[in-house]
Structure formats: C-alpha cells, structure tokens
Amino acid sequence: MPRKLLLPILLVGLLGALAWMPLRQAGWIGVAFGGDSGEGAAAPVGLMTTPSASRLVPMALRPAPALSPLRRGFEESVDLFAYSRELMMWAAAGDADAMWLLSLVQDYCAGFAADPAGYAQDTRVIAKLGLSGGAAMLSARQRVQQRCARFVPQDGFSLPVIVNQRTQAARAGSLAAEAALLAMDRPLDADDDYRRELVRRVLDSGDPFAFAAIAPAMGSVGSGRTETLGEVSGSELSEIAWRIASCRLGMDCSPDGSMMTSYCVNGGICSQDETQDFSTFARDAGVPRQGEDNVEEMVGTLLSHTGVEG
C-alpha cells in the first residue's frame, strides 16, 4: 500500500492551532538519541567550549540567562544533530537547561526524523501544488530539513520519552520543563496549590522559555480555573498573550525562528508576509480587532511581574 501523503491542513484557524500545537507530535516526539546516523560522532558546534566532567556545573546550581550560549544554540545552530550532542554532554552532568533544550530539538525535528524521505517527497508535492502561502511553507520545511538532516527514525522519538525527559529536566531544576509538563497535563504535582505556585514562579522568573512553555495551559483548556492559573488564563487570547510576552522577554519570535517555523510546518499556519514576526502575525491572524486592546492589557499584566515594560 502506498504511503499516505501527510499534507498540512492549510485552512485551520490560528486559534485552533495555538491550542493544538503543544501536542501536535503526540506519538512522535522524544528525546532519546540513537546512534550517529551512520556517521562519525559530531564535533562540538562551537557554541561553548567542550566541557570536561570536572568543569561542568549543573544548571540547577548556576544562573540560567535567558540568552545563554546553550539557549541561543537552539535557534542559531545549522546542525541540530551536532548541537544535540553538545547538549548531551551537559545533560549527562545534570544540567537541567540542557535536558530541556534536548526536548525542544526533538520537538522541532520530530516530523522530519520520523520519515526523512517521506518528508522530502511531501515537500516536493507541496511545491507542485502551487498553494496559497506555498512559498512560505516550502521555506519553513526546507529550513527544518536542513537543520534536522542527520536525524533518523531509529532515534526513537516518542511521547513517553519526551515526558520522561522533561520530568527529569524539571526535577533537575528546569522551570521551563515544569511549565511544559503542566501544559501537557502531566504536572509534577496535580495539586492546585502546586499549579498556583508554579504559575507564580514562571511569572516571577521572566524566563521566556518558561512563558512560552506554559502558554498552552493558559488557553481555553484553563477555562474556569482563574483562581488557580491567574487572571490571564482561560481563553485563546490569554494563550496568545503569554506567547507575545515570551517574545518581549527574549524568545526568538522572528519570521525564521522556531515558533513561526513550527506553526507553518506542523500546523499549516504560514504568514503571507515573510517579514512578520509572531506578535504581528498573531494579531493579524488570531486576534479579532476588538480584542487587540485586551491582549495588550494581558501582556502588560504578565510583564508587570517581571519588571519588563509591556
């Protein structure tokens, strides 16, 4: 039987995609890495000097700058396979941020790694269809293919693995991983007091990764839980506000960044204007005109906890 062609659904609304994106790779995402894809072990990517065991300091015991070299590597590395190998060295020494970043690499590359040949074939078919927004989608898919080129199905990406990886990262001290587990409905603790405290810690941290990770929990799935999740929760606009706040705190929300790329590749939500960043695009595609002031007010409320002006 011929392989089914997995084409993105181009007509879904942005708000629906916002709610769907965190689990879009269910059954595909993971953090286990197999062999070296038939190649020699990758050399360090140059973002940080290759650490020796004696010089590694676990992230839980040192500050985690929003734009640390390791974090910048997630957006800047042209070879995410090599970058993942560097992360592994830090993660093996107990670095919680590296553990978290490994899960982001797998999330970004999962669709390609599941079937590299099929992914490339789908890209060629999309190119021939001449779809509206096709140029943006092709560009995004090619970007993923280039950055993820050395991952293969044998790397074993799966949902249980990513949950396990993020649980390890959270227990090692990664606030972003804790937030992501809450958004996946797999919190470290199911108690409402824990959820309330976690939201407070994310707000106080000013960590853009944590803001972006917790955003899905603040969407419509959190409706009626304002007492636990806070005043900016319970609607699609709330989720957008959390994501825009993460952009203002330093998350890469640029046209070629991972956030915009993932929306386009995995959700078929591609901007017709290739110069738009996430904040601009979200307002154009997902915020009704009468809701713009509400979103801006929500963003200001969130950022007031961080000391960053809205």
Q: What's the one-letter identity of residue 112?
A: F
Answer whether residue 133 is part of any domain.
yes
Query: How confident is residue 25, by pLDDT bands cut at 50, 70 and 90?
Result: very low
Residues 264, 126: Cα–Cα separation, whole Å: 13
| Per-residue tokens: 38 | 């038939």
Query: How confident is residue 10, by pLDDT bands cut at 50, 70 and 90?
Result: very low
Average pLDDT over residues 63-83: 86
Average pLDDT over residues 195-219: 97
Answer whether residue 138 is part of any domain.
yes
Give the count of domains, the chain. 1
Cα dihedral 267/273/277/281 (nearest 10): -60
Residues 262, 184: Cα–Cα separation, whole Å: 17
Give the least confident one: 197-201, 254-258, 291-295. 291-295
Please give the residue that has the higher pLDDT: either 24 or 236: 236
Query: How confident is residue 307, by pLDDT bands cut at 50, 70 and 90?
Result: confident
Answer whether residue 310 is part of any domain.
no
Residue 81 has a pLDDT of 97
Start-to-end CA distance of the chain, whole Å, equals: 54
Answer whether residue 2 is part of any domain.
no
Residue 28 has a pLDDT of 28
Q: What's the one-letter identity of residue 89?
A: M
Report which DSSP code applies to 257.
Answer: S
Residue 310 has a pLDDT of 55
Question: Where in the sequence is the domain holding 101, given as residue range(s)?
Answer: 14-303
Residues 288, 67: Cα–Cα separation, whole Å: 32
Question: Taking 50 as the threshold, does the pLDDT of residue 216 lie above it?
Answer: yes
Question: Taking 60 as the threshold, does the pLDDT of residue 161 lie above it?
Answer: yes
Average pLDDT over residues 198-224: 96
As a whole number, the mean pLDDT across the chain is 80
Residues 6+ apart with CB under 8 A from 279: 244, 247, 248, 253
Report pTM: 0.80
Answer whether residue 179 is part of any domain.
yes
Helices (H) and strands (E) in the chain, counts: 15, 0
- The Cβ of residue 135 has, within 10 Å, a number of other Cβ atoms equal to 14
Question: Taking 60 as the threshold, does the pLDDT of residue 24 lie above it?
Answer: no
pLDDT (tens digit per residue) in 74-122: 999 999 999 999 999 999 999 999 999 999 998 899 889 999 999 999 9
Question: Apex CA 284: angle with CA 278 and CA 287, to 5°?
Answer: 95
Between helix 258-267 and helix 96-114 the angle, nearest 10°, is: 30
Answer whether residue 135 is part of any domain.
yes
Answer whether residue 212 is part of any domain.
yes
pLDDT (tens digit per residue) in 262-292: 989 988 888 888 889 999 998 887 677 767 8
Question: Taking 80 as the threshold, does the pLDDT of residue 195 lie above it?
Answer: yes
Answer whether residue 8 is part of any domain.
no
Burial 84-96 (b: 16+ CB within 10 A, else e): bbbbebbbebbbb
